């Protein structure tokens, strides 16, 4: 991973820290794996604004990603490592032996020319996908399924990974990126390795305009509004607004927002704060 610190030739580059994209090998995506992506501008089907601070931004295409890795026992060669505007991790283009092409989330260390494969009896090497029950303890994985055949749902963002710590009869015990320890069905597939672009969190935009390119509009603070517009608004002078809360009055600190009696509670052994979930 490599970051690029820009020279302060303009106000926008003075604080900018960007990605050097040293791992990227091509700027041209595979056309057969592109789909049109329409922006909503935060509007719903009635044309009314449902989400604020969304709109504008550069147009881009959606890259169809193979989260299921269900092409079993067919080796694939890594053709390129590419940037994906729809996610923080990089993606890799695979050329399968039978001629098919697919995108996957690129793990850290994957390079052009390497061979990856998915299946029940493959080696637990970087980029390979296999069931959790066939992996040795201590293996670091990403793109983890929650239900067999569903496709990867967990640990898909840049630098994310989970560690296989134990195995039970029906479940594998994983330590998640948040520190949470939970059970996942042992027949679920996962990809070996850490998701690429781990330095993403160290990047700095440098100017507000870069967020506008991403379709993110300026966000107005609640304390700067009137009482009719936000619970934290109003007051004489620069009032603090009291306890931080959302526009609908939901507190942002100390309030537990997880649904009580949720079905997956029994799968969580320890929460990310170190406490055990109350049964």
Q: Does domain 3-200+259-270 have CATH number 2.40.50.1020?
A: no
Q: Of residues 272 and 158, which shows the higher confidence score?
A: 158
pLDDT of residue 183 exceeding 90: yes
| Closest C-alpha to 184, from 239, 131, 236 | 131
What is the predicted pLDDT for the residue at 144? 98
Asked whether 150 and 221 are in contact (CB, 8 A), the reply is: no
pLDDT of residue 278 exceeding 60: no
Asked whether 183 and 269 are in contact (CB, 8 A), the reply is: yes
Average pLDDT over residues 235-248: 94
pLDDT of residue 111 exceeding 70: yes
CA distances from 200 to 143, 226, 241 (A): 18, 37, 33
Rounded CA-CA distance 135/121 in Å is: 10
Rounded CA-CA distance 90/127 in Å is: 13
Regarding pTM above 0.75, the answer is yes
- Please provide the size of the chain in residues: 279
């Amino acid at each position: 991973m490599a970051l690029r610190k820009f020279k302060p030739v303009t106000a926008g580059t003075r604080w900018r820290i960007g990605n050097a994209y040293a791992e990227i090998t091509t700027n041209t995506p595979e056309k057969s794996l592109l789909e049109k992506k329409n922006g909503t501008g935060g509007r719903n089907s009635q044309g009314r604004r449902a989400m604020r601070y969304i709109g504008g931004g550069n147009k881009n295409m959606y890259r169809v990603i193979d989260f299921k890795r269900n092409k079993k026992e067919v080796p694939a060669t890594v053709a390129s490592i590419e940037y994906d505007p729809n996610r923080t991790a990089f993606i890799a283009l695979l050329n399968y032996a039978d001629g098919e092409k697919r995108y996957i989330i690129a793990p850290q260390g994957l390079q052009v020319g390497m061979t990856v494969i998915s299946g029940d009896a493959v080696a637990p090497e970087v980029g390979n996908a296999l069931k959790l029950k066939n992996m040795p303890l201590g293996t670091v994985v990403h793109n983890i399924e929650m239900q067999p055949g569903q496709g990867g749902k967990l640990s898909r963002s840049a630098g994310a990974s989970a560690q296989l710590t134990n195995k039970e009869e029906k479940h594998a015990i994983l330590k998640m990126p948040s520190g949470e320890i939970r059970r996942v069905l042992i027949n679920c597939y996962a990809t070996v390795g850490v998701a690429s672009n781990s330095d993403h969190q160290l990047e700095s935009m440098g100017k507000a305009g870069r967020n506008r390119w991403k379709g993110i509009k300026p966000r107005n603070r609640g304390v700067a509004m009137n009482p009719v517009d936000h619970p934290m608004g109003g007051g004489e002078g620069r009032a603090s607004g009291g306890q931080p809360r959302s526009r609908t009055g939901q507190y942002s600190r100390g309030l537990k927002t997880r649904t009580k009696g949720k079905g997956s509670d029994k799968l969580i052994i320890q929460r990310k704060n170190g406490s055990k979930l109350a049964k």
